[in-house]
Amino acid sequence: MKSDAMTAVGEVLPSSDAEEIERSWREPERFAVLFDRYGAQLHRYAARRLGDGEADDIVAETFLVAFRQRAGYDLGRAEALPWLYGIASNLIRRHRRAEVSRYRTFVRTGVLLDAAVGVAERAVERASAQMSGRRLAQAIAELPTRDRDVLLLVAWADLSYEQVADALGLPVGTVRSRLHRARTRVKRALGGVNPTSVHDQKGDIK
Amino acid sequence: MNDLHEVRELWSEAAEPSAARLAAVRERLLEETRSGEQPDGVRVRRPRRVWAIRTAVAGTLVAAATAGVVVLPSGDGPGPAPANAAELLTRAAAAAGDGRDIEPRPGQFVYQESTALELATGNDNDTAPWFRKVRYQQWQRADGAVPVYRRTTLLGVVPLRGGKVSSRTMQLARIDTGGRFLPCASQPTEPNAPYAAHAKLPTDPAPLRSALAARVDAGQRAELTQDQAVWVNLTGLVSAPTPSKVQAALFTVARQIKGARLSGGTTDAAGRPGLAVTFDARPGEREDLIFDAKTYRLLGHRSVWTGAGDTPPSGTTTGDVAVTKTSVVDSLPAGVSTSGHTCPAASGG
């Protein structure tokens, strides 16, 4: 941490995402470094929300969009993960009907369509988990999209409040309040309400 | 609080995708990175790309970055200034067509020098947006047998909104300075394509436009009109070393694009007075071609953010490239070895 290291040309440090992105301005292939760092976890996140079959496209599209927008990347953000999750969230939002419908199918039938390897097998083994799972899925399905994004970025993508704020371009306070709202609904759902009789302002499960 | 825990656990058994599957997705990204497509939004900082300044804010910055140059009110070439974009592009095509070809032999190098102003935007508190001014020197072997060698020299850093330059910004600004070989390219619309590839381009506007349109990739098709995509590919190509007849035809193609307009007098990144033609080439961004106000020879190109939001403010120059020298030399600079740096022979051109 010598102070003069900041101005030394050619100082070699482990590269930050921001540095890789800046390098990719002139060496576009460098951008694949970001894929190597984050592709797998974004894929898992997308698969959990939209199904395994959609995940390839969501991830590919996320990185294509990111690649094309890389010149606008704020190089002050050393870590690009929130940025990538923000792009992925936008893309996932376009499929929100499919997403909600998938959750609702699970609520009704206990079958998660197009689950990634590992989910379907174990979900069936765990009947009790499945029961609470159905309530959870119901609650998640009924969240407004913007609250769902916040909840799932925290719970499934393991982002901090600050990272979620960065990803979605929101003030941290808004992230907190949305998360609070979403968790209130989840708690209510877990409070023993029968998932087939949950009513909400727009409860439309038949 | 176990509600969040319950959500975390829901379907958490999902495994990450297999390596083979991920590799296929990764390949889609790599295809894009090889396509020569330029980034959206704020323009890529490539010497072959161009950028400029128009508003008072941006004009001030350029003036700062180019040591006191001011924007001219209008062109002052011989005879009346061009009244519109078509007139300017017609004169530019004529000027290019009258120009001497550099005609490098296959083993020779085209040496090109340019001055570029490049914007790095930021919206956090740590690193404010800043411009860096650099000099690029490129040695491009005419037959493409060796990748382009580029030397980047940092000339200065100017914060977008004024104030001091942080040490972090200086560190970032130095990234990618020094010399290096660039990726190989064989398609004429790719960045860094060799003179030999450009020499194969049609010299008639119609087939040339078709050639540019044929290189429009899926990403461009999704987001741009065909005119926009052609303009983007065209601006990427015009400042590269090309035979004069190709360059003349490029300006004719530009002239035929509806919506291109004269934006008036300006000053290029090297401080030279010029006249610009502009086109809304992307959502939220226009791309200008800048011509010498007297000779109508191309000086460079520039992109300007016109989109919403204040990062950067609308009217900010996002990239500005002025080509200042093009010549033919016999070798790479002293001390640079091509060992280990060769490109596959171009397939079909």
A98 token code pair: 């499919």
**Predicted confidence band of residue B192 (pLDDT cuts 50, 70, 90):** confident
Q: State which residues form the domain around B83.
A: 49-106+186-329
d(CA B211, CA B189): 9
Helix (H) or strand (E) run with residue B141 in it: strand B130-141
Number of folded domains that form chain B: 1
**Predicted confidence band of residue B254 (pLDDT cuts 50, 70, 90):** very high
ipTM score here?
0.81
**Predicted confidence band of residue A6 (pLDDT cuts 50, 70, 90):** very low
Measure A105 CA to nearest chain B CA, in Å: 15
Nearest to B122 by CA among A106, A154, A190, A72: A72
Among all residues of chain A, which has the CA nearest to that of B179? A10
The number of residues making up chain B comes to 349
Least confident of A188-192, B65-69, B80-84, B138-142: B65-69
pLDDT for residue B349: 36
Q: Where are the beta strands (DSSP E) in A70-149?
A: none
Q: Which domains does chain A have, with CATH numbers?
A: 15-197 (1.10.10.10)
The 10 Å Cβ neighbour count of residue B219 is: 18
Residue B287 lies in a domain: yes
Residue B53 lies in a domain: yes
Q: Is some CB atom of chain B closer than 8 A to the CB atom of A60?
A: yes
| A78 within 8 A of A16, measured Cβ to Cβ | yes
Question: Among residues 62-81 of chain A, which lie with CB inside 8 Å of chain B?
Answer: 63-64, 67-72, 74-77
Q: What is the pLDDT of residues B172-186, one digit of tens each?
A: 677 667 888 877 777
A-B interface: how many C-beta pairs under 8 angstroms?
A: 184
Residue B16 lies in a domain: no
pLDDT at residue B66 is higher than 70: no
Is A59's CB within 8 Å of B120's CB? no
pLDDT at residue B190 is higher than 80: no
Residue B349 lies in a domain: no
Longest dimension (CA), chain B: 80
Q: Cα angle at A78 between A75 and A84, to 5 degrees?
A: 85
Measure B119 CA to nearest chain A CA, in Å: 9
d(CA B22, CA A39): 7
Residue B296 lies in a domain: yes
Residue B78 lies in a domain: yes
pLDDT for residue B44: 34
Nearest to B138 by CA among B175, B192, B100, B184: B192
| B170 within 8 A of B200, measured Cβ to Cβ | no
Tell me how far apart the terminal alpha carbons of chain A are, to the nearest angstrom. Answer: 63
A145 token code pair: 């999209």
Q: What is the pLDDT of residues B198-253, one digit of tens each?
A: 999 999 999 999 988 887 766 677 778 889 989 988 988 888 899 999 999 999 99
Tell me how far apart the terminal alpha carbons of chain B are, to the nearest angstrom. Answer: 64
